[in-house]
Amino acid sequence: MPEPASVFGEKSRLRALLDHFSVIDDPREPWRVAHPLPEVLLLVVCGTIADCDDYDHIAAWGEAHLPFLREMLPYHHGVPGGRWLTLLMNRIDPGLFSSCFTAWVRATWPERPEFVAIDGKTSRRSHDRGHGQAPVHLVSAFATTARLVLGQEAVSDKSNEITAIPVLLERLSANGGLTGATVSIDAMACNATIAGAITAAGAHYLLAVKANQPTLRAEIEAYFATAPAEAVCVASDLDKGHGRIEERTVWISRETDWLAGDRRFPGELRLPGATTIVKVCSRTELKDRCRTDTRYYISSAALTAQAAADAVRGHWGIENRLHWVLDVVFGEDQARLRTGHGAKNMVVVRHFAINLVRAVTDKKSIKLRRKAAAWDARYLASILGLSTR
Where do the domains of the chain lie? 4-92+359-384, 98-260+269-325
**Higher-pLDDT residue of 319, 206:** 206
Report the pLDDT value the prediction gives residue 130, as an integer from 0 to 100: 55
Q: What average pLDDT does range 164-184 have in this prediction?
A: 93
Sheet harboring 290-299: ordered strands across? Answer: 148-154, 136-143, 115-123, 182-185, 204-209, 290-299, 276-285, 244-253, 233-241
- Checking if the pLDDT of 238 tops 60, the result is yes
Report the pLDDT value the prediction gives residue 267, as an integer from 0 to 100: 61
- Checking if the pLDDT of 65 tops 50, the result is yes
pTM of the predicted model, to two decimals? 0.87
Report the pLDDT value the prediction gives residue 212, as an integer from 0 to 100: 83
**Which superfamily does CATH assign the domain made up of 98-260+269-325 to?**
Transposase Inhibitor Protein From Tn5; Chain A, domain 1 (3.90.350.10)
Q: How confident is the model at residue 6 (pLDDT cuts 50, 70, 90)?
A: very low
* 225 burial level (CB within 10 Å; 0-12, 13-18, 19+): exposed
- Checking if the pLDDT of 342 tops 80, the result is no
Alpha-carbon gap, residue 357 to 49, rounded angstroms = 7
Alpha-carbon gap, residue 25 to 60, rounded angstroms = 26
> Contact at 8 Å (CB) between 186 and 291?
no
- Checking if the pLDDT of 274 tops 70, the result is yes
Alpha-carbon gap, residue 20 to 9, rounded angstroms = 16
Q: What average pLDDT does range 205-214 have in this prediction?
A: 90
Q: How confident is the model at residue 388 (pLDDT cuts 50, 70, 90)?
A: very low
Q: What average pLDDT does range 330-335 have in this prediction?
A: 71
